Amino acid sequence: MTGLLVLAGTPIGDVEDAPPRLARELAEADLVAAEDTRRLRRLTQALGVVPGGRVVSYFEGNEVSRTPELVEALTGGARVLLVTDAGMPSVSDPGYRLVAAAVAAGVRVTAVPGPSAVLTALAMSGLPVDRFCFEGFLPRKAGERAGRLREVAAEPRTMVFFEAPHRLAEALAAMAEAFGGDRPAAVCRELTKTYEEVRRGPLEELAEWAAAGVRGEITVVVAGAPPAAPTRLEPAELARLVTVREEAGERRKEAIAAVAAQAGLPKREVFDAVVAAKHAAPGAG
């Protein structure tokens, strides 16, 4: 009988945001895999709980080598709890490799939902939240970063990025160049912590503000690209489209109405284009 992999969300700042189930899972797990065992120790002390099982490290440097060990424990029936330094495992944190390997091994995976910097920043940004995408950390090298931003410059959904404080000014300046300096955005700093701050404004202004130096954990939310303005058709093209429909059997009235709807124009404007084309035709009296 296989075990269970539990992905547990941890506070992104205020320890009081810890999910109520987290303490119980820490106490009941056979094995706790932590991104940083020292930070886990501080968290367990704050929660007043002692891990019931063995604690091992699981971070970027040992993910590849430690994943088989954890999967072996899972297939042997162990309850393994995975926690990262802040937020949900796998979201720009260790976890994806273990989840994929556990699923491939037929191990059940569940989660203890918890705080998320992505959703917290999105909700506080004041930008549209009906559709959004998470882009994680941008590449560190300027050329690769510019290329990534060009790829998403036309993205219509609100975008959420993580960024290191010492690279924030450069990242915002690159976003302003790729998206336009007037694109609305919000820089969310130290969410749920004592010095929490949300700075909102156009990308160009935010880049100038960040140039003086910013500290803390950073999440950047950027508005999606505005809808492209429809291309306005010339009168001759409007008349041609009406003619095509007429030759296909439509009556002129219906053809004009259809072209007007297609072009987003008043029917009168399309009618005038048809009349003008008729008068401009060779042999017109």
- Closest by alpha carbon to 153, among 230, 229, 223? 223
* Residue 106 and residue 8 in one domain: yes
**Whole-number Å distance between alpha carbons of 146 and 200:** 22
* CATH number of domain containing 51: 3.40.1010.10
Q: What is the pLDDT of residues 113-151, one digit of tens each?
A: 999 999 999 999 999 999 999 999 999 999 999 999 999
Whether 71 and 105 have beta carbons less than 8 Å apart is answered as yes
Per-residue pLDDT, averaged over 77-95, amounts to 93
In this structure, are 138 and 100 located in the same domain?
no
Does residue 29 fall inside a structural domain? yes
CATH code of the domain covering residue 209:
3.30.950.10
Q: Identify whether 51 is part of a domain.
A: yes
Confidence at residue 157, expressed as pLDDT on a 0 to 100 scale: 97
Last residue of a domain, one of 115, 150, 165: 115
Asked if the structure places residue 229 within a domain, the reply is: no
What are the start-end ranges of the E strands in the chain?
A: 4-8, 31-34, 54-57, 79-83, 108-112, 132-137, 158-163, 184-189, 197-202, 218-222
pLDDT bracket for residue 232 (50, 70, 90): confident
Count of domains forming the chain: 3
Distance of alpha carbon 234 from alpha carbon 232, whole angstroms: 7
Report which of 199, 189, 183 is spatially closest to residue 149, judged by C-alpha positions. 183
pLDDT at 162: 97
* pLDDT over threshold 70, residue 1: yes
| Residues 109 and 131 occupy one common structural domain | no
- Work out the pLDDT band at 175, boundaries 50, 70, 90: very high
Structure tokens given for 206: 């935010």
> Do 154 and 202 sit in the same domain of this protein?
yes
- Based on the domain organization, do 111 and 125 belong to the same domain? no
Q: List for the chain the helix, strand, coil content (%; round to 5).
A: 45, 20, 35
Question: Is the domain of 144 the same as that of 190?
Answer: yes
Mean pLDDT of the chain: 93
Can you tell me the mean pLDDT for 58-82?
A: 96
- Predicted confidence band of residue 285 (pLDDT cuts 50, 70, 90): low
Q: Are 101 and 197 found together in one domain?
A: no
Asked whether residue 228 is domain-assigned, the answer is no
pLDDT: is 233 or 269 the higher one?
Answer: 269
What range defines the domain where residue 272 resides? 235-280
In whole angstroms, give the CA distance from residue 188 to residue 222: 11
End of a domain among 62, 95, 115? 115
- Does residue 162 sit in the same domain as residue 84? no
Domain boundary among 97, 115, 133: 115
Q: Report yes or no on 39 lying in a domain.
A: yes
Are 124 and 151 members of one domain?
yes
145 and 104 within one domain: no
Q: Name the nearest CA neighbour of 232 among 258, 270, 274, 183.
A: 270
Q: Is residue 186 part of a domain?
A: yes
Q: Is the pLDDT of residue 252 over 70?
A: yes
